Chain A
Amino acid sequence: MRAILLIARREYLSYVGTWGFWLSLLAVPVFAAIGAGVPALIEGSQPVRYFAVIDETGRGLDEMIREAQNAARREAVRERLEMMARGAGGDAAAEAALEAFDADPDGLSGLPGAAAAAGLDGAQDALASGARSHMVSAPGATLDDLRPYLTGEATVTTPEGERPLFAVFVLRPHETRTVGIDYLSANLTSTGLRSEITGYVRDYLRRDALAARGLSPDEAGALLTLSPEVTTLDARPGAAADAEVTAADRAPFVIAVVMAFVLWMAVFSVANMLLTSLIEEKGGKIIEVLLSTARFQDILIGKLAGVAAVSFTLFAVWGLVGAGITVFAAGALAGIDPRLLDILAAIADPGLLLAALVFFIAGYLMFGAIFLALGSLCDTLQDAQTLMGPVIWMLILPLLFLFFSLEASDSLFVRAASWVPLWTPFLMMARLPSEPPLWELLGSGALMIITTVLVLWGAAIVFRQGALRQADADTFKRWFRFGRKG
């Protein structure tokens, strides 16, 4: 026991004392923040897209599009104002801000008053920003005239100065569909603006058709918004008969898959730590010195425990930081949308966290022991890479299944795969919220534990042979050659 603790302690301190450890500690929150902010960053950094409309229909569709865009922009500003006002001053502030904003029912002239009412005087620009497209007058009438403006050879005058056109919409009469749209752009992949403008024209045509049948604009508007109301009820055992499925109910399914991914990454990176550490010890001829002072099992367990402690330290720090941020942000989130609190509570489910811990330990022990055993056969990382191929594939396959498990965690394939002991920690983790049958949980769990014990036992044997240089990477290769001949 003394040897195990000392070896684990040395292993732990050797990692904690490195720059790599501290970089890993910081990297996850930093990259998580970057990852979470990437969509907003991409959206925020997207330049305003200037477009022109040539209306050959004589229906005033260009003006309709301008008004529809302004109305949509006003609605977006209104929603942003409501959220920020609620966050800053609660329901009363939000109500006062909206009242002031709606003083101008068509434009944004109510925004300064609304911002003042909510105590958001400095946030006017932020509230009004966000227009990602802007309609300008068409600089030409034919395709040939417009092409240079689309390719950047010529520019149009915009509120930001001279800019090229992103797109041109040519609206022309159509025999059967009333209006046809020719969309011209040098950008072949972005479809957002095309969909937006097409949507405005579609709504206009439908309203127009309904008006032609004698319906008032309000009646036409009501018809256009017709859609069935879908209520998703929770039919799982224990749920109330009329219990509606909320985002908080769905959160555990997503979180379980996310946790399985995190588990996978943790097992992979920690097992790699073990491998490189052992190869360094073997290359530096330290392992033989250790073997003369401690038993094989003690070295194996000590190293596994030391590196496990490193990963638990990482998890603990990330967990504490996450919990701290959650507690700190809970008040603000409750102000913005009380449902967010329910989602947070669902994420912090002790059952899921406990299962993640158990699966991490089992996965780590299995893959860590395999990596240690293979590492003991190698003197260099190049040697190790030749042996690692099959093990890496065993690790990558469950990653592929995890993608499917979010949509179909009950598929026969995912269920069968979760019985493969080396995959159980990841796939069963992802399946947990869908409440798999108890016999499956117990059976695959037992198989996983038996496999863990067998892997540890086998790893100790290989480790012993490898550490004393009685076997090496070539021995392994000879086995396979022998197998092929046989």
Chain B
Amino acid sequence: MTEYALEVEGLTKSFGGRPAVSNVSFRAARGEITGFLGPNGAGKTTTLRMALGVITPDSGTARLFGQAPDAAGMDRVGFLPEERGVYRKMTAEAVIVFFARLKGVPAGEARKRARTYLERFGLADAARKKIKELSKGMAQKVQIIAAIVHEPDFIILDEPFSGLDPVNQALLEQVIRDQAAAGRTVLFSTHVMEHAERLCDRIILMARGEKVFDGTVEEALSRVPRQILLGAPSGSDLEAVLGGMGALERLGEEEGSVLWRLSLAPGADAQGVLRALVDAGVRLTRFEPRRAHLHDAFVALVGEDAARPEPVEA
């Protein structure tokens, strides 16, 4: 048995001569939460579709549980696509049972699981209500349940947080953690880096159809220089004091002080910077060592331009 739920190798796809995905390779290890990150238009959805055999790549291969995607493999996958909806005239329970049965769960067991999951997601009272009678957030929770009700070995969620309010985003984060704790592999795509930062064992960063990073969150963050926000009266010669400790960038003025951002040079640390400023007699109005985020790592890896979403064609 392979240790990877998904292995893609050299996936490439163009639409109308325009490359959407170029030579993307990665693996999703069993039992791990993998984040598939990038701005809109980075090629995430196309890559996931190719990985599941929904569309055929121009070149490259995808293997689910060590084999080419087939019906048996797909039954072990729970997929929540980015473009999603449910039958508005069906009840919440009927929708979940329908998708569970499509994945091979017997009717009686599907109904039992539907009720259990609806209760777990706080939707027990909505079981018999039609989707059109539910709020958007409730309907989205029904969709998420429908994707995992057959208790798949591998869960792929394409932009699962979009459209959810903060409360339900937190609930979904917990669901993802629970699924991983139950031994399932989770791969989710998002353009909101904070979710990935909190959840993922491993991340894959995509930009303009190409993979730009594949590793742990810590590895990604290590690519970003640590930063300190500094505030000092105008006239303070910070460049002279901090020379060699990093790059200074003037951000603007705030209540009579000038704001600076210092990107630390390799080997420099916040303690050393503070000591140098105090020794030089600089009257600090602000000193905030800043923790780097995945977005910073992403910008550092691909540049500001590539980190922006692809413009949507009119």
Contact = CB atoms under 8 A, between A and B. Distances in A.
Interface of A: 2-3, 6-7, 10, 14, 17, 281, 284-286, 288-289, 291-295, 468-470
Interface in B85-104: 85-90, 98-99, 101-104
A469 B54 CA distance: 12
Contact of A295 (B49, B55, B71, B89): B71
Interface in B48-76: 49, 52, 54-55, 71, 74
B104 A10 contact: no
B102 A468 contact: no
A478 B103 CA distance: 38
A285 B89 contact: no
A282 B90 CA distance: 16
B148 to A, nearest CB: 12
Contact of B79 (A10, A293, A469): A293
A281 B87 CA distance: 7
A10 B98 contact: yes
Q: Secondary structure at chain B's binding surface: helix, strand, loop or mixed?
A: loop
A281 B99 CA distance: 15
A284 B88 contact: yes
B98 A6 contact: yes
Given A293-B99, A293-B103, A285 B83 contact: yes
Contacts of B90: 14
29 contacts: A2-B101, A2-B104, A3-B102, A6-B98, A6-B102, A17-B89, A281-B87, A284-B85, A284-B86, A285-B84, A285-B85, A286-B84, A286-B85, A286-B86, A286-B87, A289-B81, A289-B85, A289-B86, A289-B146, A291-B54, A291-B81, A292-B52, A292-B79, A292-B80, A293-B79, A293-B99, A293-B103, A295-B71, A468-B49
Contacts of A17: 89
Given A289-B143, A470-B55, 5 more contacts: A7-B102, A284-B85, A285-B84, A285-B85, A289-B86
* 6 closest A-B pairs by CB: A285-B85, A292-B79, A284-B85, A288-B83, A288-B81, A293-B102
Contacts of B101: 2, 6
A479 B312 CA distance: 23
Nearest to A464: B55
Contacts of B143: 289
Given A291-B54, A292-B54, A293-B103, A469 B85 contact: no
B15 to A, nearest CB: 6
A286 B132 CA distance: 14
Contacts of A293: 74, 79, 99, 102-103
Nearest to A283: B85
B49 A289 contact: no
Contacts of B49: 468
Contacts of A289: 81, 84-86, 99, 143, 146
Contacts of B52: 292
A10 B96 CA distance: 13
B64 to A, nearest CB: 13
Contact of A14 (B15, B55, B74, B89): B89
Nearest to B102: A293
A295 B81 CA distance: 15
Interface of B: 15, 49, 52, 54-55, 71, 74, 79-90, 98-99, 101-104, 143, 146
A398 B89 CA distance: 37
Contacts of B54: 291-292, 468
A194 to B, nearest CB: 59
Which of B52, B84, B88 has the most chain A CB atoms inside 10 A of its CB?
A: B84
A464 B49 CA distance: 13
Contacts of A281: 85, 87
Contacts of B85: 281, 284-286, 288-289
Contacts of A7: 102
A284 B88 CA distance: 8
Which of A17, A284, A288, A293 has the most chain B CB atoms inside 10 A of its CB?
A: A293
A147 to B, nearest CB: 64
B84 A294 contact: no
Given A2-B102, A3-B102, A468-B54, A292 B81 contact: yes
Which of B80, B85, B99, B103 has the most chain A CB atoms inside 10 A of its CB?
A: B85
Contacts of A291: 54, 81
B12 to A, nearest CB: 16
Contacts of A285: 83-85
A281 B80 CA distance: 16
Contacts of A286: 84-87
Nearest to B77: A292
Contacts of A294: 102
A288 B84 contact: yes
A356 to B, nearest CB: 32
B55 A468 contact: yes
Contacts of A295: 71
B54 to A, nearest CB: 6
Nearest to B85: A285
Contacts of B55: 468, 470
Given A2-B102, A10-B98, A289-B143, A470 B15 contact: yes
B249 to A, nearest CB: 42
Nearest to A468: B55
A149 B84 CA distance: 74
A293 B82 CA distance: 14
A470 B56 CA distance: 12
Contacts of A2: 101-102, 104
Nearest to A284: B85
B87 A284 contact: yes
Nearest to A302: B102
Nearest to B131: A284
Nearest to B156: A292
A480 B62 CA distance: 36
A10 B55 CA distance: 25
